[in-house]
Structure 1
């Protein structure tokens, strides 16, 4: 799975690409069913990463592009200039229409991610519904940064 592409739009989308939604549905997004082999610590990290991803997505839902950018990881901000982000993300989200609902379908914790330094990563896939596009899958990857906070490093709607 490629999370980063080289074009400005690709970087914004796929950097694979940001706290709470204007509806209660985003607040109550159901956690994905945990994998039976995950440890308690790993499940906690999955939950933390998923919560950070959902909060970041709610900023996008409200059109808070700048807030989403500022809330993203340092790695994301180093790779995607603010101008490219602000020019691209509104056009990416506009075809979806207003946010309606979102549910996490898959959440995975990893300590390695292709093309990234070793660390702690959580990738969450959300099934989202919008007014103009009912079935959107949103892939969001978060990283635990040095301050212990989970922040988005990649976003890809599909």
Structure 2
């Protein structure tokens, strides 16, 4: 049984970009500066969300199921009861064996996700090697909660 039976989370991995054009350099200077500032802010948010996702995954690697649950977002904990989590996540991870290595392959910042309230989301896809299975894609979506902290709202290994 997959974790998504307990925690259906739509993940949107498409990134959008803004293009600014103008007739003169003077007309395009302000939009380009705004785009650069927005890009820098988005990159910082991506890094924060990715760091939160990686830390959460390290709890799973250590089989700290309860710690990972408590570190998850309130929305996640509302969707998945602790008993369901403790019954399902060991079975999801056990076939992979021990953790060996992990690298982020894609990180995307979004302000909308299908089926979720507007907010700030970062979806990170990690390429992970385990003892029993190499090249597992772990998709982790984090959300910035009201206290400003990034917490996991969705997880799917594939």
Q: TM-score range by the shorter chain?
A: 0.7 to 0.9
1:36 CA drift (Å): 8.9
With over 3 angstroms needed to count, the CA separation of the structure-2 counterparts of 1:50 and 1:108, relative to structure 1, is: same
In the alignment, which residue of structure 1 is the partner of 2:73?
73
1:13 CA drift (Å): 6.2
**Aligned-residue RMSD, C-alpha:** 2.0
Please report the TM-score for the alignment, with normalisation by the length of structure 1. 0.79
Which residues of structure 2 form unaligned runs of 5+? Answer: 11-15, 19-37
- Does the CA contact (< 8 Å) of 2:119 and 2:143 recur in 1? yes
1:94-105 matched pairs, under 5 angstroms? 94-105=94-105
Partner-residue secondary structure (3-state), 1:128: strand
C-alpha separation between the residues in 2 aligned to 1:154 and 1:126?
Answer: 14
With over 3 angstroms needed to count, the CA separation of the structure-2 counterparts of 1:119 and 1:82, relative to structure 1, is: same
1:104 CA drift (Å): 0.1
In the alignment, which residue of structure 1 is the partner of 2:150?
150
1:10 CA drift (Å): 2.2
Report whether the alignment pairs 1:59 with 2:53.
no
C-alpha separation between the residues in 2 aligned to 1:116 and 1:97?
Answer: 33
In the alignment, which residue of structure 2 is the partner of 1:49?
49
Which residues of structure 1 form unaligned runs of 5+? Answer: 1-6, 17-34
In the alignment, which residue of structure 2 is the partner of 1:122?
122
Please report the TM-score for the alignment, with normalisation by the length of structure 2. 0.79
Larger Rg computed on CA atoms: 2
